Amino acid sequence: MKAPGDQAMPTRQRSVGSFLLIAYVFAILTLLFWLILIIAWFNDSGSVTGSIIGPFLTRLGLFLAIPACFSIGTMIHTGNLRGALKRREIGRLKELNSLIWGVLSFFLTNPVSGAMLILARGPLGQVVASGTSSIPEDRILVVEHMSKLYPVRRSFSQVMSRETEAVVHAVDDVSFELRRGQVAGLAGESGSGKTTVLRVALGLTPTTSGSIFFNGKDISKMSGKELKQVRTKMQVVFQDPYESVNPRMTVFDIVAEGLYVNKLVSSRNEAIERVEKSLRDVQLTPPTEYIYRHPHELSGGQRQRVAIARALVLGPELIMADEPVSMLDVSVRAEVMNVLLSVRQKQGISVLMVTHDLALSKDAVDQLAIMYLGKIVEQGPAQAVVSSPYHPYTQALVAAVPVPDPTGPRIRILAKGEIPTNIAPPSACRFHPRCPLAKPICSETEPLMLEVSPGRQVACHFWKEANEGFLRGTTEEQVVELAK
């Protein structure tokens, strides 16, 4: 009776011993991880480094803690520990010790690194105390101090040698508002952050700091479930209709998908009815002719109208459109723009449009904001901004737009060079290295956004001189001969 038990004992002990060793190793590594995290935190508090160190170490912590728990779990399974506890043998308490460490490491590393992450996010940008109560009823979208920074990926050695972190300032402290039933435009060169503003406003990517109020509610603090509900009221139309509609789905499937996802229809007939109404709204008539077609049977303009129909079918209050016509032919651009503007008029839908076409935005947009390197440099009524720009950057954009008239003014180049990278944007006024009017103050003090005339805001130290100089240039129809 006794013999078999005694013989089995040593082998079991040996295997337990190796488990014990593994458990200790992992417990020590977990401790080390803690130590690194705390040191990194104290050294870098106030900088953005935490946001990279944080996730990296969290992963390391999980990597260590999970096997630690496994080894301890196996140890318990062997029954050795239970026996030790029963017999209250002092020597066995070592194993108890390791068990405690293993469990602690598992339960503590995750919440702690999570908390570290939250703390690390804090100092990324100044979180502005948002006055939720002060959002007027007629503002469908209010963006307050929105910033979006993307950390640049660093190699392991860079992380370890604690090289300064690079961050792309895609959007930096942008504020604007959109009234109900209006069309707002965001214009600027590629890389100015217009599309990022749109993505953040849609809740497709979280803000780094700042708030976005849609119908008075801050979407940057919403959960996924709440966002899903809000998105039925806030729809998007993408730039390229050749990419944004699924070629294997019919027009009906494309447009009705949102209805089914949000469970807004109970029967197929109801879905068909809603889809047909939506297609009529975008002037794809008669809808029966288009409803079972595939995208390859449609022209570019028709595809984009299907994309608009898809946005409309949910009955949104706000449509965000990212360069909705830039991929289309000139002769159909106006048509698609008019579809968008007519639904605005008939159904009171507000539109936030990203565009780089100033000539078009003058005709289609009510409020225009000009962006440069992640900041809004000028905003106001579109017609006024385009015909009498205050900011030298807006002027450079306007002057570079060709006019379809061979006898008209020639395009002029008012900005030197090309848009710099926004990893390390220029100091103070970001436009100063390219600005023809730049003075020393421009690289020292950042110009504040000033309301210079009713509804017109500009961030430039010399807006007055710039505006006068520009108007003199255009009113005299001064034809600057290109490359004399």
In the numeric block, the tokens 């290295």 are attached to 433
- Stretch binding another protein (CB under 8 A), from 270-278, 316-324, 409-417, 439-447: 409-417
- Stretch binding another protein (CB under 8 A), from 343-351, 398-406, 447-455, 462-470: 398-406
Structure token pair of residue 380: 């106001």
**φ and ψ of 54, to 5 deg:** -55, -65
Q: Least CB distance from residue 237 to another protein, whole Å?
A: 17
- Stretch binding another protein (CB under 8 A), from 134-142, 157-165, 168-176, 381-389: 381-389
Structure token pair of residue 173: 């402290």
Task: Single out the residue of 332, 437, 449, 471 in contact with another protein (rule: CB under 8 A).
Answer: 332
- 27: burial class by Cβ within 10 Å (0-12, 13-18, 19+)? buried
Does 362 sit near another protein (CB under 8 A)? yes
Does 436 sit near another protein (CB under 8 A)? no
Of 135 and 319, which has the nearer Cβ to another protein?
Answer: 319
- Stretch binding another protein (CB under 8 A), from 35-43, 303-311, 337-345, 371-379: 337-345
* Range 290-319, binding another protein (CB under 8 A): 299-302
Q: Least CB distance from residue 352 to another protein, whole Å?
A: 19
Q: How many residues bind another protein (CB under 8 A)?
A: 51
β-strand pairing of 234-237 with 450-453: unpaired
Q: Least CB distance from residue 124 to another protein, whole Å?
A: 29
- 198: burial class by Cβ within 10 Å (0-12, 13-18, 19+)? buried
Task: Single out the residue of 8, 32, 100, 413 in contact with another protein (rule: CB under 8 A).
Answer: 413
Task: For residue 98, give every residue at least 6 positions away whose Cβ sits within 8 Å of its Cβ, in sequence order, or none.
Answer: 20, 23, 24, 27, 72, 75
CA pair distance 158, 76, nearest whole angstrom: 41
CA pair distance 370, 421, nearest whole angstrom: 18
Does 356 sit near another protein (CB under 8 A)? yes
In the shown chain, the binding pattern of residues 139 to 178 toward another protein, with x for contact by CB under 8 A and - for none, equals ----------------------------------------
Which residues are 177's β-sheet partners? 142
In the numeric block, the tokens 């289609």 are attached to 364
Strand order in the sheet with 456-458: 234-237, 318-322, 350-355, 183-187, 367-372, 375-381, 456-458, 450-453
DSSP 78: T
CA pair distance 386, 365, nearest whole angstrom: 11
Of 354 and 386, which has the nearer Cβ to another protein?
Answer: 386
Does 397 sit near another protein (CB under 8 A)? yes
Q: Which of 268, 354, 257 is nearest to 313 (CA)?
A: 257
Task: Single out the residue of 296, 410, 439, 464 in contact with another protein (rule: CB under 8 A).
Answer: 410
Of 314 and 385, which has the nearer Cβ to another protein?
Answer: 385
Does 475 sit near another protein (CB under 8 A)? no
Q: Which of 165, 150, 152 is nearest to 206 (CA)?
A: 150
What single-letter amino acid sits at 217? K
Does 455 sit near another protein (CB under 8 A)? no
Q: Least CB distance from residue 411 to another protein, whole Å?
A: 5
Structure token pair of residue 349: 């839908």
Alpha helices by DSSP H, 78-92: 80-87
Q: Least CB distance from residue 253 to another protein, whole Å?
A: 23
Of 387 and 427, which has the nearer Cβ to another protein?
Answer: 387
Q: Least CB distance from residue 380 to another protein, whole Å?
A: 14
Of 230 and 382, which has the nearer Cβ to another protein?
Answer: 382
Positions touching another protein (CB under 8 A) are 189-190, 299-302, 329-335, 337-338, 341, 356-360, 362-364, 382-383, 386-387, 396-413, 415, 418-419, 482-483
